[in-house]
Amino acid sequence: MDLLRHDVQAATERRMARMIVYARAGTTAFLLVPLVSWDRLALPWAAACVALLAAVEAVWFTARAWHGTLHDPPLVWADVLVSLVVMTIGSRAALPHERNVVLTALLPFCLATSAVLGFGFGWNRRAVAAVAVLAVAWTASIYPNLTQKLLSDLLGFTLWFLIAVLIGRELRDLAGQTVLAQRLAEERQELIAEYKRRQETARQRESAHRAIHDDLLPIVERVAGSPSLDPPTARAARRAAQRARRFITDEHATAFADLMAEVAESAADLGLELTHVLRVHHDPPPEVGAALASAAREALNNVARHAGNPDGVHLYAEAHDDGVTVVVRDRGRGLPEDPVRRGGGMSRSFAAVERHGGSWTIECPPGGGAKVVLRWPGDRG
């Protein structure tokens, strides 16, 4: 966007420079008018010299400004200097009582310099001072023909400068609005593209959901329930059916969610009636997820070994970017006094959680049973 803004502003500055080029080239022709009355001039060669000087300066001005801008101090000050020379020498070409007539032909060329100052420098002290110098030099050049026309001439210097300042400001503001409009148009196009992408993603997801729910899932569940399957194949089929259901219900199908789903699936193999809730919004590091899943699996193994005939077992896992919590809860007769004895399976799996910066607790809540809580506080690095 910064590049676009620079391009638009640069193009605007070039257009303003070319506008002044047209004015400078066009007003130079007025300096030829006094030469028509060659024999009536006091110093006709002075009029010819200023006309030649103005023509040379117009050519140089055009070549320098055409592919540049008016933010070019040498260009602007050279134009001011040439106008002062044209006023001073051009006025001396006429007799004193006819200077007003001759300077009238030179006025358009000098007024264009005020516009150069307005476009090039804008409203600042240097530009205002230069316009004042032009006005004083014009007054000195027209002396002694100080008539009411002088006020009109001086007003012209002021107005050309002010109009150029205002037009330049409007054009630069327009460039800024163009950049803003282009940016808004690009953002709108991006929003439309994102909306279409989301629509297509939703359409594809809906189609996949329908195919899985109507065609694939019934077959997998029928296979999983077949008594003729060997246990490993049946477990794999049940796991696949569970993953498919998570997918079509828009649950977060992350790596850690898959691990915990496998843990929940293993409860059936242990003869446990498990209710599980998985709220996985952010995956922990793979090694942390593996340690937590292993500890949760071992907790379920201990439920199966020690809880007797529990009324129900619950597995809860919640994972966000600020940490993970896994809870295994049963309402059986509870665990022995030292369920994590050194060398036991829980001792090893729980120690793995601790090695990764996690923690664990085992509670015997009111109502019986046991509650194992595993926590990992997130990656603090």
The mean pLDDT of the chain is: 83
* pLDDT of the residue at 331: 80
**Distance between CA atoms of residues 64 and 117, nearest Å:** 16
**Distance between CA atoms of residues 102 and 35, nearest Å:** 10
Q: Does position 375 have pLDDT exceeding 90, yes or no?
A: yes
* pLDDT of the residue at 345: 45
* pLDDT of the residue at 224: 66
* CA-closest candidate to residue 254, choices 281, 233, 229: 281
Residues 260, 262, 265: CA angle, nearest 5 degrees: 115
Chain segment 115-169, per-residue pLDDT in tens: 999 988 888 899 999 999 999 999 998 888 777 888 999 999 999 999 999 988 8
* pLDDT of the residue at 197: 87
Tell me the pLDDT band of 347, cut-offs 50, 70 and 90.
Answer: low
Chain segment 248-285, per-residue pLDDT in tens: 665 556 788 888 888 887 887 777 778 888 888 888 99
119 neighbors 76 (Cβ within 8 angstroms): no
* pLDDT of the residue at 198: 85
Tell me the pLDDT band of 242, cut-offs 50, 70 and 90.
Answer: low
Pairing status of strand 359-363 against strand 370-376? antiparallel
Chain segment 320-333, per-residue pLDDT in tens: 888 999 999 988 77
Tokens of 5: 């803004």
β-sheet with 274-280: strand ranges across: 274-280, 313-320, 323-330, 370-376, 359-363
* pLDDT of the residue at 134: 94
This prediction's pTM: 0.52
* pLDDT of the residue at 307: 66
Q: Does position 50 have pLDDT exceeding 80, yes or no?
A: yes
Chain segment 81-95, per-residue pLDDT in tens: 999 999 999 888 887
Q: What is the dihedral of CA 67, 69, 74, 80, to 10 degrees?
A: 110
Chain segment 55-106, per-residue pLDDT in tens: 999 999 999 999 888 888 999 999 999 999 999 998 888 877 778 878 888 9
- Considering just the CA atoms, what is the radius of gyration of the chain in Å? 45
212 CB contacts (<8 Å, ≥6 apart)? 244, 247, 248
184 CB contacts (<8 Å, ≥6 apart)? none
Q: Does position 343 have pLDDT exceeding 60, yes or no?
A: no
* pLDDT of the residue at 337: 56
Q: Does position 342 have pLDDT exceeding 50, yes or no?
A: no
* Mean local confidence (pLDDT), 368-372: 83
* Mean local confidence (pLDDT), 175-182: 81
319 neighbors 279 (Cβ within 8 angstroms): yes
DSSP assignment of 78-110, as one string? HHHHHHHHHHHHHHHTS-GGGHHHHHHHHHHHH
CB atoms within 10 A of CB 306: 16
Q: Does position 358 have pLDDT exceeding 70, yes or no?
A: yes
According to DSSP, residue 227 is labeled T
* pLDDT of the residue at 215: 73
Tokens of 69: 């801008």
**Distance between CA atoms of residues 317 and 339, nearest Å:** 22
* Conformation bin of residue 40: beta by default, left when phi > 0, alpha when psi is -120 to 50: alpha
Tell me the pLDDT band of 2, cut-offs 50, 70 and 90.
Answer: low
231 CB contacts (<8 Å, ≥6 apart)? 269
**Distance between CA atoms of residues 381 and 378, nearest Å:** 9
Q: Does position 1 have pLDDT exceeding 70, yes or no?
A: no
**Distance between CA atoms of residues 280 and 291, nearest Å:** 16
**Distance between CA atoms of residues 249 and 173, nearest Å:** 53
Residue 128, classed as helix, strand or coil, is: helix
